[in-house]
């Protein structure tokens, strides 16, 4: 029986897999590249307009939510394509719902951005 790895070794491996996944997501998915571009722009705007600590927290959380949901959406699409490569009505529904979740979060993010930045003008 092979020796069981320690908790710390397992955690470090998990972080490595997560980092690999994040790099794959950023380098392979155009939607993430767009979201990261928007994240950079609002981060620059945050420094320029000197937003409050609370506004920073909301902005960072919102960026994380959108990018995280994009990652989950991508994973769902990849699994769906792997399971059923040809078009299937149910797979289409699953992929549309996953994309819809990202869309809803993006609309909410845009509203939060307006609430933070419109008063600065």
88 is in an annotated binding site: yes
Query: pLDDT tens digit string along 47-74?
Result: 999 999 999 999 999 999 999 999 999 9
CB 72 within 8 A of CB 98: yes
Q: Which of 5, 50, 55, 70 is catalytic?
A: 70
Q: Give the DSSP letter string of 53-74.
A: HHHHHHHHHHHHHHHHHHHHHH
* 4: confidence class by pLDDT, cuts 50, 70, 90: confident
Q: 11: number of CA atoms within 13 Å, CB side?
A: 3
95 annotated among ligand-binding-site residues: yes
**Domain residue limits, the chain:** 30-120
77 in a known ligand binding site: yes
What is the pTM (predicted TM-score) of this model?
0.85
Tokens (6 digits) for 16: 């490595």
13 is in an annotated binding site: no
**Domain 30-120's class?**
mainly alpha
Is 70 known to be catalytic?
A: yes
CA triplet 105, 109, 113: central angle to 5 degrees? 175
pLDDT score for 11: 93
pLDDT score, position 5: 82
DSSP state of 36: H
The per-residue pLDDT for 3 is: 74
């Amino acid at each position: 029986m092979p020796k069981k790895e320690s908790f710390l070794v397992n955690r470090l491996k998990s972080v490595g897999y997560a980092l690999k996944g994040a790099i794959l997501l950023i380098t392979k998915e155009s939607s993430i590249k767009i979201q990261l571009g928007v994240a950079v722009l609002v981060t620059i705007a945050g420094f320029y307009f000197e937003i409050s600590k609370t506004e920073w927290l909301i902005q960072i959380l919102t960026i994380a939510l959108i990018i995280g949901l994009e990652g989950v959406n991508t994973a769902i699409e990849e699994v769906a394509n792997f399971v059923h490569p040809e078009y299937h009505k149910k797979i289409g529904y699953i992929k549309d719902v996953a994309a819809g979740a990202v869309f809803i979060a993006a609309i909410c993010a845009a509203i939060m951005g307006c609430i933070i930045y419109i008063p600065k003008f």
